[in-house]
Structure 1
Amino acid sequence: MTDPRTVAQPRKPAVVGLLLMLTLLGVFPIDVVLPSFPALSSHFGNPLSDIALSVSLFAVGIALSQLLVGPLSDAMGRKRLLLSGIVISGFGAAGCVLANEFWLFLVFRIIQALGCGCFVLSQALIQDLFSGQEQQRLRIFLVTCGGIFISVSPLAGTGLQGWMGWQGSFLAFIALAVGAFVAACCLLQGAGHGWQTKRLGFIASYRNVCSDFSFMAYWLISALAFSCHFSFIVISPLVFIDQLQLSPQAFSLALLGYGLAYIGGGAFATVLSNRIDSHTQIITGLCLILAAGLLMLGLFSTIDLSITSVLLPMVVCTAGTTIARAAAHTRAMNIFPEQAGTSASAGSVLIFVIGGSTSAAISLASLDLQLTLALCLITLSLLGITINQLVQRRHRGLLPG
């Protein structure tokens, strides 16, 4: 049987385009709807707290879906499961547009989330369809683009809200999902079937990957790096709108500028990937995050809160996050290549849990938000460095098996 990683050279740009679309669909539905909260509240006659509940339920739905998607894709193949997920997510989005009661809107929002869980398969598809340095470069590229998508989604949501009302973000999602469905049908020829693997049961699959210390450690490093970025995104409205009194439009533009910093971080990570090994890349990325935390702490102590005093350290953090996550992803995914789907799901759920709990802790902290974020960057980077050193010591045989 043909190795699925032997993608014909002329098809590679198209496959990368599909992976990019899956990355966009994985983050787009959460942040793009934020500017529509007031409109949704007015339409359904429910308070803003109820609308916020829909985002929480959506996140929970994605996490639960991802737990199932990985092992299922290892058993039945990526393509069929991905196409099914796209259809389910599109159906859920369409139901949200047509819903005339809030409870019905919540039901379809959860259905959309369950379908969106399939987009975690982008990591497994990289493992299936590419090899060697291509995997590393692709992960750097997708991490970079994912950060940009998260950052610009509120701005896109503002535009869609002004153009088509609150339904605009769901209609845009449906259009993107249709494009992804067509692309997946044309480009994925039995992806995930080339490994001739033993099909483990659901629990056994997770037990197999999660019992490996290095696998969990590398995904934990990736989760810690992502938490630094995600925590900033979550508290950014509190800092820029509540404290600095920016308008929603100015806030969206500030996040757009932050998102553009991911391009520089991705370029830097690409250069490093060709010059140093992945272990050194992880250390370099985490040290940049540590430097960002120390810079933010210094700015907090010396000058008043401003856009610059927050964004400048976060630009440095962005470069570190991009470098560390891509290298840690590749190391983790290479441990169980025959269970790429389960590996991707386990890592994604870990990232979701740690990112969500960290951002919630920062939001609820009694300290100043800028100070709390600075301490968070310092703490998470030091924890990541410690974990990475433990992995390296184990690989050298200095720790028991």
Structure 2
Amino acid sequence: MLSAATSPPRLTTLVLLTAVSVLSTNMYLPSLGHIAADFDVSYAMANLSISLYLAITAVLQILMGPLSDRYGRRPILMSGLVIYVAASVGCLLAQDIVVFLVFRMFQGAIVGGMALSRAVVRDMHDERSAASLIGYISLAMAIAPMTGPMIGGFLDQLFGWRANFVFFTVVGAALTLLCWWDLGETNTQKSATIRDQFRTYPELLQSRRFWGYAICQTFSLGAFYVYITGAALVGADVFGLSTTQIGIAIGAITGGFAIGSFLSGRFASRFPLFVMVLAGRVAAMFGLCLGLLLMAFGILNPITYTAAIMFVGFGNGLTLPSAASGAMSVRPKLAGSASGLSGAMAVAGGAFLTSLTGALLVPENAAERLVLIMLGSVLVSLLAALYVRRIDLREGATY
């Protein structure tokens, strides 16, 4: 029998926790049409499995963060994994859409794997080292969205849509065993009671640095959400691309994110946080401004357009690990709370920006307007980063 872990986890375990969290969001998306047909409901009803899942993950991140600060990372992560496995079985066996949607919401408990992995890293390392390791963990957030739908579509084609949830069940169970064996407790500064924990919460909410970093994260990711919302429209109506080509174009921004995340892993430990954050914001601004300039001169084709967009992914890879580390470093005793709250903000911000993008885009000016909306989101993130830097210069950087 495997004995419970007492030492900090390996980086591989944290990467796998993050990867499964991301896979659970999008891997089964190619099966939505088959799910709707199987349950004899509309596509819009089946699509609720995405929106409800995202909504519950936003709420859970707000709750799981403080709970992990009070009770420890390990029990919250292990509880979330057990719930996830049970919910995956529920989705697999569901015979009507309501039961499926309920269990799909419970699958959101896996979000702790992504949110709390960052807190675990911050528990074990200083700000710069944490940013470096979060950069490597973020590679999972780049690779999983690219490979997940391909795996899910392949399983659906061979065995039907329920095969996706067999996959989630098996992988979730294996990950639960791995974490039981490898993920020891890293939070050594737990609060005495949950009441004491929530009494310290205002320290985080009153921190201007935290809000600066959190807003920077929200609108950096927001530019990505904007792009994936409008990419299909631009690809099909402006450039006449096939669905396969559109998929490649969408993957380009994720490829840029992978490169930026890798560079964060290599260099974030060598530079102050603000250098990495600002470098990423400048790179994203440069790419989008270059894209607009080319369009102003009448140069508009899939290659130049996609190349400009890749800078956004690349910039996010540089910015997000250091911004996440900064948010958690404002109040180290509240690292879990900071990670959960900033993660919930990113989900909520993404939902808002995707809705806004869907309302504003029309085929006649989709290419230009999509870049402009992304540029607005990146600009807000840049201003938030500069705001944090201003605080550092006035009050002295704490890291």
* TM-score higher than 0.5: yes
Task: Note if 1:373 corresponds to 2:370.
Answer: yes
Task: Note if 1:121 corresponds to 2:116.
Answer: yes
Please point out which of 384, 388, 392 is paired with 1:391. 388
SS in 2 for 1:396: helix
Evaluate the alpha carbon distance shift between residue 45 and residue 304 of structure 1 in structure 2; reply closer, same or farther with a 3 A threshold: farther
Task: Note if 1:269 corresponds to 2:260.
Answer: no
Aligned to 1:217: 212
Aligned to 1:171: 166
Give distance in 2, aligned partners of 1:318 and 1:229.
7
Please point out which of 185, 195, 199 is paired with 2:189. 195
Aligned to 1:160: 155
User: Which one is further off, 276-285 or 16-25?
Assistant: 276-285
Q: How far did 1:86 drift? A: 0.6
Give distance in 2, aligned partners of 1:182 and 1:210.
36
Provide the identity percentage: 21
Residue 142 of structure 2 aligns to which amino acid in structure 1?
G
SS in 1 for 2:394: coil
Q: How far did 1:82 drift? A: 0.8
Q: How far did 1:105 drift? A: 0.9
Q: How far did 1:350 drift? A: 1.1
Q: How far did 1:347 drift? A: 0.9
Give distance in 2, aligned partners of 1:141 and 1:118.
15
User: Which one is further off, 207-216 or 387-396?
Assistant: 387-396
User: Which one is further off, 116-125 or 314-323?
Assistant: 116-125
**CA contact under 8 A between 2:277 and 2:322: conserved in structure 1?**
yes
Give distance in 2, aligned partners of 1:174 and 1:123.
24
Q: Give TM-score, length-normalised by structure 1.
A: 0.88
Give distance in 1, aligned partners of 2:357 and 2:24.
23
Question: Deviation per CA, 1:150-196, whole angstroms, max 9, x where unpaired?
Answer: 2332222222222222112222222221222111111122332x125
Give distance in 1, aligned partners of 2:385 and 2:251.
32
Alignment of 1:4-83 (within 5 A): 15-83=10-78
Evaluate the alpha carbon distance shift between residue 20 and residue 392 of structure 1 in structure 2; reply closer, same or farther with a 3 A threshold: same
Gaps of 5+ in 2: 1-5
4+ residue runs over 6 A deviation: none
Question: Deviation per CA, 1:4-30, whole angstroms, max 9, x where unpaired?
Answer: xx967xxxxx61111111111221122
User: Which one is further off, 132-141 or 66-75?
Assistant: 132-141
Aligned to 1:281: 276
Gaps of 5+ in 1: 1-5, 9-13
Q: How far did 1:212 drift? A: 0.7
Aligned to 1:3: none
Give the RMSD, CA atoms, in angstroms.
2.5
Evaluate the alpha carbon distance shift between residue 337 and residue 245 of structure 1 in structure 2; reply closer, same or farther with a 3 A threshold: same
Residue 237 of structure 1 aligns to which amino acid in structure 2?
A
Please point out which of 96, 99, 103 is paired with 2:94. 99
Aligned to 2:3: none
Please point out which of 94, 104, 109 is paired with 1:109. 104
**CA contact under 8 A between 2:128 and 2:272: conserved in structure 1?**
no
Q: Give TM-score, length-normalised by structure 2.
A: 0.89
Alignment of 1:358-369 (within 5 A): 358-367=353-362, 368-369=365-366
SS in 2 for 1:195: coil
Give distance in 2, aligned partners of 1:392 and 1:131.
19
Alignment of 1:284-363 (within 5 A): 284-303=279-298, 306-363=301-358
SS in 2 for 1:397: helix
Q: How far did 1:106 drift? A: 1.0
Evaluate the alpha carbon distance shift between residue 145 and residue 242 of structure 1 in structure 2; reply closer, same or farther with a 3 A threshold: farther
